[in-house]
Structure formats: C-alpha cells, structure tokens
Amino acid sequence: MAVASEIRIVNDAAELFKTAADEFAMLAAQAVHRKGSFCVALSGGSTPKGLYTSLASKNAPAVPWSQTRVFFGDERLVPPEHPDSNFRMANETLLSKVPLQPDNIFRVPTEESDPEQAASRYQSLMENYFAVRPGQFPCFDLILLGLGSDGHTASLFSGTAALAEKKRLVVANWVEKLKSHRVTVTYPVIDNATCVMFLVSGKEKAGIMREVFENPKADLPAQRVKPASGRLLWLIDYAAAGLLSGQAP
C-alpha cells in the first residue's frame, strides 16, 4: 500500500531552498545514525540547483558529507562537462564545494555512446553498491525529484517506455518530443526509497501542480510516484501552489 503525501507550502524560492536543505541535513543525520551512511539520488533542473547552492553556502546546515554517497536519478546523454549534464550542474554548485570523497560520487557513465550500455552500466554500479540481487531494488535514503511543466519527473515522460518498467533499476528512455535519450531510474527504485522529495517552485508550475494534485485521471508521470512505505514529501512555494484548491491528495 502506498503512503499518503505530505505537502509543505513555503513563501518563496529562497525559503524552499532553505527548507529543503534542512530536510536534506536531517535525513542525512538520521540515515548515518541508523546505518552509518546516507545515500541520495540527485535530480537535475533549476529548482534543485537552488538547493545545491544552499547546501554549499556558509550558512548551510551540517551534513555528514564523509558518510554521504551521491547518485543521480536521471541524466542526459552528454559528457560530464557538457552544459546540459546534471552531473556538471551538481558538481559545480555542490559536489566540488563540500568535503565529499570523489569515490563516493556515482555519476551516470555517459561516455558510453550507447544509451542502453550507459543505463546498464549504471544499474550494475547501483546493484554492486547496494548489494542487491536480481528482483531486489536499492533503498535510497533520499531521492530528489523535480516536476516538469508537462508532468514529467526524473526522465520519466508521458508516453515513454520507461513508465512501464518493473524489473530494471535504470533504463535508457527515448523521449520523442526531445528527440533524445535520457537515462533514468525507474519507479521500482523511486518507490523503494525511504524518502522521496519533490521540489517545485514558480508560477509556471501552478497549472501542472493543480493537475497532479486535483486531477487523478491526468495520469502524469509524477502522479505515479507512490513510495511503498517511505515518505513522499512535496516542498513547494506559494507561486507553484497558486492554483491549488487547498486539498492535498
């Protein structure tokens, strides 16, 4: 049975990034206390960038970086130094600025020119790190997600094959409207996390937020995220919440 979602609405983007940074630090401390490490899957997009900048700032809450392991929920098929690379963005804003061991940063091997190879190598890397056997899924302490204006999340876009994946951890997903492949974790991985945290900011997201929360028939990729027993937290600002009638699903 899936858990109910928690929705927290804050004043503006600055408060969103600060609240998200505090949640990140708290989840990291709890995970380290429980099992000695904190495993997080980062997302791309402009909203997480604000969180990463906040986590790297001098006022950031304390995070046990030496016990933190960083993965990525999705990636574009570009080299790690490319402007579109999620790794590059996270590295420039956060990873290179905090005391994280390079060995504890697990990026998608996009130097593989074949998207299927990149996905299967990243899946193997996750399977090895989490020591999962076939049929099992890793349990991330935190998976960060954004919400695209079309309702996509990670690189799970409406009408794409990855939405139906039940067995693999990571897949190459052809996105026709972008005319490109993305590498993305699948729902079984997202839904097995201890906490899934969506970050949504800005009035351009207000319409899609209303669809996600108030139109169950829309069948948007973000609506299909249903952690089995973990927390599902939506952190949004007033602008993004502007068209909600006030009821969380």
Question: Whose CA is closest to 235, among 207, 208, 209?
Answer: 209
Binding mask 64-103 for ligand 6PG (x = CB under 6 A): ----------x-----------x-----------------
Q: Write out the H or E segment, with its range, that includes residue 35.
A: helix 13-35
Least distance from ligand 6PG to the Cβ atom of residue 19, Å? 15
Of 45 and 230, nearer to ligand 6PG (C-beta) is 45
Rule CB under 6 A: choose which of 31, 40, 147, 189 binds ligand 6PG.
Answer: 147
Of 67 and 241, nearer to ligand 6PG (C-beta) is 241
Least distance from ligand 6PG to the Cβ atom of residue 131, Å? 26
Distance from C-alpha of 202 to C-alpha of 208, rounded to nearest angstrom: 11
User: Is the separation of the CB atoms in 183 and 107 below 8 Å?
Assistant: no
Q: Write out the H or E segment, with its range, that includes residue 68.
A: strand 68-72
For 188, half-sphere exposure in the C-beta direction (CA atoms, 13 angstrom radius) is: 15
Of 32 and 226, nearer to ligand 6PG (C-beta) is 226
Check residue 131 and give left, alpha or beta (phi > 0: left; psi -120 to 50: alpha). Answer: left
Does residue 44 bind ligand 6PG (CB under 6 A)? yes
Of 47 and 54, nearer to ligand 6PG (C-beta) is 47
Pull the structure tokens for residue 164.
């139906």
Of 64 and 202, nearer to ligand 6PG (C-beta) is 202
Binding residues among 117-136 for ligand 6PG as defined by CB under 6 A: none
Distance from C-alpha of 144 to C-alpha of 20, rounded to nearest angstrom: 10
Does residue 154 bind ligand 6PG (CB under 6 A)? yes
Which range of residues in 110-118, 152-160, 172-180, 209-217 is near ligand 6PG by CB under 6 A?
152-160
Distance from C-alpha of 201 to C-alpha of 209, rounded to nearest angstrom: 10
How far is CA 157 from each of CA 31, 33, 36, 62, rounded to the nearest angstrom? 30, 36, 35, 35
Q: Which residues bind ligand 6PG (CB under 6 A)?
A: 43-47, 74, 86, 146-148, 152-154
